[in-house]
Every structure is written in structure tokens, then in C-alpha cells.
A and B are shown apart, each in its own frame.
Chain A
Amino acid sequence: MNLAKKLRTYDNAVELKYFVEDLKLNLSKDKRKSVKSVLEEESNGMKDLFLDLLNESNISISDSSAVTDFLGDIINKINNFERVNLVVAVDPDEDLIKTVADWIQDKVDKSIILKIDVDPDILGGIKVTYKGKYLDLSLNNKLNGIFKSKDILKI
């Protein structure tokens, strides 16, 4: 199961984490309740993704102890994701996020997720932050460099 590939963004990861933590809490509150009945009460959008993950891992929904272990496993995985922060000028669509996330995931060994912020001030391009390294490939930065080097503003 490649959880990072399924989630791709930090927002999705946080949403799944909260969903899993809620589920864990509800299960621990009333131990007589089955996983299925607890899930039925949930209306979160992550429910389908969670059921897919259970299927992929060949865990039966009726096996409460296996599901509980699996919940802990998911939280651990999410906590260990490495974050790549991206700042872009426009809100990216799902396809773009998928392309970028898959491309980055192919280049690094660890599971990564993207934290995407939108800042129209950068005009275009991208700002990347990963493991404390910072790369400004924005159009704004490029133009500033050109203005500075050619003294265009003084003319």
C-alpha cells in the first residue's frame, strides 16, 4: 500500500489522520460496537479511501483488533511523511497535483506529501522547500533579478 501516492497533499493527509483518530476514539469509547457500525455513523469523505486501504491490505472489517492495529499504522505513516512545501501562483487542479507529486515521489526514496500554498504575488513559477532547502523558481523572483541587474527601474 503506497499511502503517500494515494494522499499526495498535506491537506488530504491531515484529513485522513483526523478521520482515523476519530475512528479510534469512537471504537475505544464503546468496545461492544463493531467497526462496521462505527463507520456507518461516519459521513467523512475519507471513509471510502479508508475502506479501499483496508481492502488493499486484506484486512477484514469484522476483525476489530486487526483494524485497530491498522489505524495506528496509518497514523504512524502519516507522521513520518516528508513534507515538500510548494508555493504556486494559481490553485492547481487534481491532474497537476498528481503529475507533480508522482514526479517528485519518483526522485526521492521517502514517502512525500505536498503542502501547496497559493500566492498570486509570485506571478508564476514555483517556490519549493524540502528538508530545509529553499528554491525560488518564481516569475516574480526572476523579474526582480532582471530589474536589478539591468537597472531598468532607474531608467
Chain B
Amino acid sequence: MKSAYSKDNFDNLLNKFGEVGRVVAVSKSVIQVDGLPTIFPGEILMFENGGLGQVLSVGREKVDVLRYSGQEIPVDLKVARTGAGLEVPVGDGLMGKSIDSLGGSLFKNEPVGQFEEYRSIETTPPGIEERVKIKRPLETGVSVVDLMMPLGMGQRELIIGDRKTGKTSFLLQTILNQAKKGTVCIYAAIGKKKTDILQVEKFLKDNDIRDKTIIVGASSTSPFGVIYAAPYSAMSVAEYFKDRGEDVLIILDDISIHARFYREISLLAKNFPGRNSYPGDIFYTHARLVERAGNFKYKGEDDQKKSISITCLPVAETKEGDISGYIQTNLMSMTDGHIFFDGDLFDEGRRPSVNYSLSVTRVGRQTQSKVRSGISRELSNFLSLYQKTQSFVHFGAELSSGSRATLKMGDKLIDFFNQDSSEILHLNLQIMLFCLIWVGLWNNEAVEDARVEWSKIIKAYKSNEKVRKEFAKYVSEASEFNALLGRVSSEANQILDVINSALEENVTTDRSKQKPIKKQQVVGKSTKEDNK
């Protein structure tokens, strides 16, 4: 926290500005203060007991102050101006730290240290002339997203779904993948339970990426002001690293909680309530935040870099899977698409429970290579066919062999998309594994047996450089999806040879018995043909 905000500085602030205020009324989070004749909205105020607050609105006689500290604020307490808006410390020292919206330690046992630079939490979003088209893909390491709803660096994608449907797990997987690629990752915990924040921190520590991530947040027990400011502070930290030429991924978990707290603050400040009692400026409150993310022109000295990005993944919670709520639709209209986590799919055992037919990505597709866009198109078409075929089964209709093949392949693909919450898959691995499934390598096997084989391939890929190189070669040499598919189809056994030899190498090092992958006859290029 800024040293100017220390209690000992109170008298200096009074002398510096020659103004003093007096608390006249106190509610839970909004305090009315009189005096302070030249105060401006957004200015930070210090109470005589060291507490902090921010000016919400300025009236003729009194100002409404949003409380930032937990201390008791009695009536008649003196108040001093600080002459500045809320600022958050920025610098390399933040890496691996958990800070609150004011720059203090989120967990009191971890000192944050001293910083030389401070940034205002409210900045004007960069204009159109500073932005460039999103061209670079952002890998999440989650196959269903990377293959079906691709994201781009600088995209603002809403993550939406009921509580406990795996949203945070997906976000942590994305952080894990991006942190390993060198992206600065910022997790903004907004009004979350302290145990939830600690769990996120534990995940980051367990995966050795804690020193590449920053947690900016406010727990549900923090003063409302601190919760309200959390996403803005996190965005200012993101902007600092962006201005230094580093790509940033920022997670805002979650904005619907932020909206609820802002609604409470606004009602206490006697602002006129609008739809669902939210204040009239709720859209602006979030839009001015999300607008600060994007893909920007790079102005540094590195000739290789053309653009620099802040990828923003705001989270919104739904009730009973209703994505047409007020805040949810607001957020949809200010982001570049949304990924919907479906509670029903979660209950069916799908992990992640992404509902691809209700999810949208508006700019992610333009970042894809021809191979990936081919896969994405093929998958979308096939899965919609699979869903239709599934609905026939409900009628008890006798199925043709083509329909049965579609269902079998669909089941396999759905199972292929199932992914452990701590597992990330490299894009080349996702593509090659999909191609091997798609050419029908495991058409005659049950899903469970196929899953065992896939695990072996994943293990071989992760542990063996040769496999990684081989897969990368296949993907990079392919001009388009069909070309890759043709090559994989004809060279499937050679690919399996490479994987098996990698697994054998592992046996010698691991001492664990690993059965080689059975060579299969490639049944067909695509089951879509069968269905015709």
C-alpha cells in the first residue's frame, strides 16, 4: 500500500491541502462527509484513524464516500484529502504475490514489499488507433476450447455458467498453459471466499507457476470498496506489464459478484435503481473495464513483435443455466464471445462441461491456421449431426449402420474432450490425437479401451522430445486439414511406431510396464461419409 496512506501522514495531508472533512453519517459501506470544499469525485480520503475511502459522489454540502477499510468509522471523525485517485503499486515485485485492490497484502502474513511506481486504477481505454487486429492464437490447453472455440491473444471472452460447473478449473488450466508460455497471468478474485482464493494459490504453487502469476483480489469479507476496486486494480497491473511489452492474461472471477456489490453500494448511496435494482451506470461500470483489454500496437524495440495484448476472461455466474440475465447479456455484448459451462453436461460427467453449441467466439477463428479451422469446421458439423442422431435414439428408432458409426465416433470425440482439471494438452497433440481418432484408428474399440491408448499417446508426447518433434512436423507441414488427415491416415502405423518406441524408452527409465499401442487398421477417413 502507498506510504502516503499511512495513519501517521494524516496531519501532513491536512496541512498540505488545508481542508478537513467531518463524518456526519455512516452506513455499512457508504459514509457521508461534510467539509472538504474542493474535493473531486474518485479522490481517496483518509480518516483520522487511518481508514481509507473513495469519493463516490459530490453534493452541495456533503460527499458520499465509499469505505475501503474495515476500521470502525464513528460520526464526527476528521477526514483528510489525499489529492489522488486510487493507485495500485506496480512492478516486477508483484510476481508471485497476492495483493488487495489497494496494493496491500491479501493475506496479512505475506509482506508485499516497497514499490517505486504506482498506477491509477482508472484509466481511459486506448482508442482505435492504438489497436490492431487479433491475429495470434491463445492456447488454453483444453482441447474442446482450442479445437472448437478458439481464442486469440487480446480477445475478451466471457466465461459463463452456473456455480460449480468447472469454470475456475478451466481458467486455471488456461493460466497454467499460458504461464508456461511466458504470458503474465493475473487472477482477479472478486468477492470470493478466502478458501477459494487459497485453493487457486495452491494450484499455482503446485504447478510451479506461482512466480509467473499475480493474484489481485478481495475476499467476500473485505470492505465493499475493496471488492468494487479489485478488477480495476488488476487491470491496471495488467496494463503495466502490457506497456512493458509483455502479453498478459487477466481473469476476472467473477463480474456478476462485482455487479451485486456495486448494486448494494449504489443503493446505499441512494442512487436511483434501474432494472433488477442495478444502478443505471452498471453497463458503463463493466464496459470501461473490459474495454481496457485488447490487442495493441507494440511500440517497443523488439522488431519481432508487432502487437501486444491483454487477453481478458471475465467470468459471470448464471442461475439455473439462464444466460439471458441482465448482467450476463450486458457482458456478452461487451465481449468477443462467450464459453458456456452447462450444468446439465457437468452432471452427465463431461469435463469441462462446455456447451459448444451455445458458445461463441467472434475473433478467435481469424487467428487459426488452415488446419485448425478445418478441424473446427469438421467438428462443428459432425457434432451437430451427432446430436441430431442422438435425438433419434430417444425415439427408439432402429439405426442404420451409418448412424451407429456416427454415434460411436461422437461418443469417442466427447470422451476425447474430457480432460482432467490439472491436465493441459499442447495444440499439436490435440490436433494429431483428433486426426488419429478421426481417421478411424479406434473405430472397432470401446471408448474405455480407446481412452487407455490416448493416455499412452499423451504420456509419450509429454515425455519424449522425438514424439513432440514428429507431431509438430506433421502439423506444420500440412497445408490444410484434409491434407493432414490424408497423411495421418496413410502413415498412422509409422506414427504409432514413433509413439511405441517412445513408450519403450520410458519403460527403461520409469521401470513401469507399459503395453505398446496396438496397431489398428484405419477404417475410414471420416464417418461423415458413412452417414451419407
Q: B15–A132 contact, CB under 8 A?
A: no
Q: A132–B37 contact, CB under 8 A?
A: yes
What separation, in Å, do the CA atoms of A133 and B20 have in the docked complex? 6
Q: A129–B20 contact, CB under 8 A?
A: yes
Q: Which A residues are in CB contact (< 8 Å) with B11?
A: 136, 141
- Consensus secondary structure, chain A interface: strand
Q: A134–B34 contact, CB under 8 A?
A: no
Which of chain B's residues 1-48 have a Cβ closer than 8 Å to chain A? Answer: 11, 14-15, 17-21, 34-37
Can you list 10 A-B contacts with CB-CB less than 8 angstroms, sorted by A residue number? A129-B20, A131-B37, A132-B19, A132-B21, A132-B36, A133-B20, A134-B14, A134-B15, A136-B11, A136-B14
What separation, in Å, do the CA atoms of A135 and B19 have in the docked complex? 8
Q: Which A residues are in CB contact (< 8 Å) with B36?
A: 132
- Consensus secondary structure, chain B interface: mixed
What separation, in Å, do the CA atoms of A132 and B80 have in the docked complex? 10
* Closest beta carbon of chain A to B421's beta carbon, Å: 55
Q: B34–A132 contact, CB under 8 A?
A: yes
Q: B37–A135 contact, CB under 8 A?
A: no
- Return the contact of B35 from the options A132, A135, A136, A141 (Cβ within 8 A): A132
Q: Which A residues are in CB contact (< 8 Å) with B35?
A: 129, 131-132
Q: Which A residues are in CB contact (< 8 Å) with B19?
A: 132-134
Q: Which residue of B lies closest to A129 (CB)?
A: B20
Q: A141–B15 contact, CB under 8 A?
A: yes
* Closest beta carbon of chain A to B90's beta carbon, Å: 29
Q: B14–A133 contact, CB under 8 A?
A: no
* Closest beta carbon of chain A to B297's beta carbon, Å: 45
Q: Which B residues are in CB contact (< 8 Å) with A129?
A: 20, 35
Which of chain A's residues 99-116 have a Cβ closer than 8 Å to chain B? Answer: none
Mask for A130-155, Cβ within 8 A of B = 1, else 0? 01111110000100000000000000
Mask for B485-519, Cβ within 8 A of A = 1, else 0? 00000000000000000000000000000000000
* Closest beta carbon of chain B to A81's beta carbon, Å: 14
What separation, in Å, do the CA atoms of A129 and B17 have in the docked complex? 12
Mask for B325-342, Cβ within 8 A of A = 1, else 0? 000000000000000000
Q: B37–A134 contact, CB under 8 A?
A: no
* Closest beta carbon of chain B to A43's beta carbon, Å: 29
Q: Which B residues are in CB contact (< 8 Å) with A141?
A: 11, 15
* Closest beta carbon of chain A to B477's beta carbon, Å: 71
Q: Which A residues are in CB contact (< 8 Å) with B15?
A: 134, 136, 141
